[in-house]
């Protein structure tokens, strides 16, 4: 359809006509159309997603209840943002009860590579889902660096989680030495390369870009650094899986994200939300939820 297409012609066009018109474009033109349709701050057409990663915190169940009571009061449009709290496994029942039906979901911080059976200390997807976990983190840098989780491990976990229907925040990111050595994109690509072909449901697969040097350090990536790196991640997804998947996949930023920097970071087109550690252990995490959900 040319630039002279009338409103009548456009509304009369069936979905198949429109799909046919897009299918006839070259890959480069397809990417342009998708970029135009998804342009805009906070990820444009993509629904934002924010996760609070509580790690091995807080020390008491009383604090779990206080935090959840504060988060329950958050005013957010559920069609604009997915909100997930990754509480520790021992706190999840209390967190779930305290959050009630406010629309905040629960995520597990680490999911097992194995299924039901003789696997001491492991929590498989089926068991986690039965307990009400709808999301999981895979490949967090602390799992990789402190507990020896390899990229191959993350792939087994990803496959299990997708097969079980769990939603996933798949964490990748470079160390300070890697950034300074100019290999940021190569590192992200090596952590993603095996994962992308395993994705069967792109609505349930979120990439969490977390530069390791920004995690828990108070040293946040600048909006320009985060945007540039995340645009490169999206381009990699386009190269490997096609422009439609790249336009759809949500990419979070993580690493010292807080109420003070949420606005500047989320104004960028390739930043679709956040994975938040320290700042999710404070009642004013609500401000981050509300910023994305208004
Ligand atoms: P941080 O942690 O927000 O405390 O830097 C982020 C994360 O580990 O996911």
Residue linked to tokens 């959900």: 293
Q: Does 3.20.20.70 match the CATH number of domain 41-108+122-292?
A: yes
Q: Residue 119 gets which letter from DSSP? A: -
- Alpha helices (H) in 24-140, listed in sequence order: 27-38, 61-72, 92-99, 125-130
- Residue 212 CA to ligand 1 centre (angstroms): 9
Integer Cα distance of 108 and 87 in angstroms: 7
Q: Could you report the average pLDDT of every consecutive run of 10 residues in the chain (294 residues)?
A: 39 51 57 47 74 98 98 98 97 96 98 97 97 97 98 98 98 97 98 98 98 96 98 98 98 98 98 98 98 98
Q: CA nearest 166: which of 109, 120, 220?
A: 109
Pocket of ligand 1 contains residue 215 by CB under 6 Å = yes
- Residue 292 CA to ligand 1 centre (angstroms): 18
Q: What is the pLDDT of residue 40?
A: 39
Q: For residue 58, say if its preceding peptide bond is cis, omega within 30 degrees of 0.
A: yes
Q: What is the pLDDT of residue 110?
A: 98
91 carries an active-site annotation: no
Residues 6+ apart with CB under 8 A from 68: 85, 94, 95, 98, 99
Q: What is the pLDDT of residue 41?
A: 39
Q: What is the pLDDT of residue 176?
A: 97
Tell which one of 57, 210, 218, 260 to mutate to probe ligand 1, the residue whose CB is within 8 A of the most ligand atoms.
210
- Alpha helices (H) in 242-284, listed in sequence order: 243-248, 262-266
Q: CA nearest 137: which of 206, 64, 49?
A: 206
Pocket of ligand 1 contains residue 254 by CB under 6 Å = yes
What are the residues facing 86 on neighbouring strands?
Answer: 53
* Domain limits, the chain: 41-108+122-292
- Residue 6 CA to ligand 1 centre (angstroms): 50
> 252 near 272, Cβ under 8 Å?
yes
Q: What is the pLDDT of residue 45?
A: 82
Q: What is the pLDDT of residue 8?
A: 41
Integer Cα distance of 168 and 202 in angstroms: 10
Pocket of ligand 1 contains residue 172 by CB under 6 Å = no
198: left (phi over 0), alpha (psi -120 to 50) or beta: alpha
């Amino acid at each position: 359809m040319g630039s002279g297409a009338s409103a009548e012609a456009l509304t009369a066009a069936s979905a198949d006509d429109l799909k046919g018109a897009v299918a006839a474009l070259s890959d480069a033109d397809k990417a342009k159309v998708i970029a135009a349709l998804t342009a805009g701050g906070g990820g444009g057409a993509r629904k934002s997603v924010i996760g609070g990663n509580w790690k091995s915190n807080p020390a008491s169940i009383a604090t779990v209840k206080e935090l959840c009571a504060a988060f329950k009061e958050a005013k957010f449009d559920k069609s604009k943002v997915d909100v997930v709290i990754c509480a520790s496994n021992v706190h999840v029942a209390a967190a779930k009860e305290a959050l009630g039906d406010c629309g905040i979901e629960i995520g597990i911080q680490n999911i097992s590579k194995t299924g039901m059976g003789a696997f001491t200390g492991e929590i498989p997807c089926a068991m986690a889902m039965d307990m009400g976990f709808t999301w999981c983190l895979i490949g967090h840098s602390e799992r990789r660096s402190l507990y020896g989780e390899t990229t191959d491990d993350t792939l087994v976990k990803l496959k299990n989680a997708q097969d079980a229907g769990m939603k996933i925040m798949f964490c990748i990111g470079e160390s300070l030495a890697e950034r300074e050595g100019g290999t940021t994109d190569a590192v992200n690509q090596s952590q993603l390369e095996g994962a992308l072909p395993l994705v069967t449901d792109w609505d349930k697969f979120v990439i969490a870009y977390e530069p390791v040097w920004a995690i828990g350090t108070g040293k946040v990536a600048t909006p320009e650094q985060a945007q540039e790196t995340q645009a490169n991640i999206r381009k990699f997804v386009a190269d490997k899986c096609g422009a439609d998947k790249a336009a759809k996949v949500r990419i979070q930023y993580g690493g010292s994200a807080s109420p003070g920097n949420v606005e500047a970071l989320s104004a960028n087109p390739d930043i679709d939300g956040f994975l938040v550690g320290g700042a999710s252990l404070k009642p004013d995490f609500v401000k981050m939820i509300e910023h994305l959900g208004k």
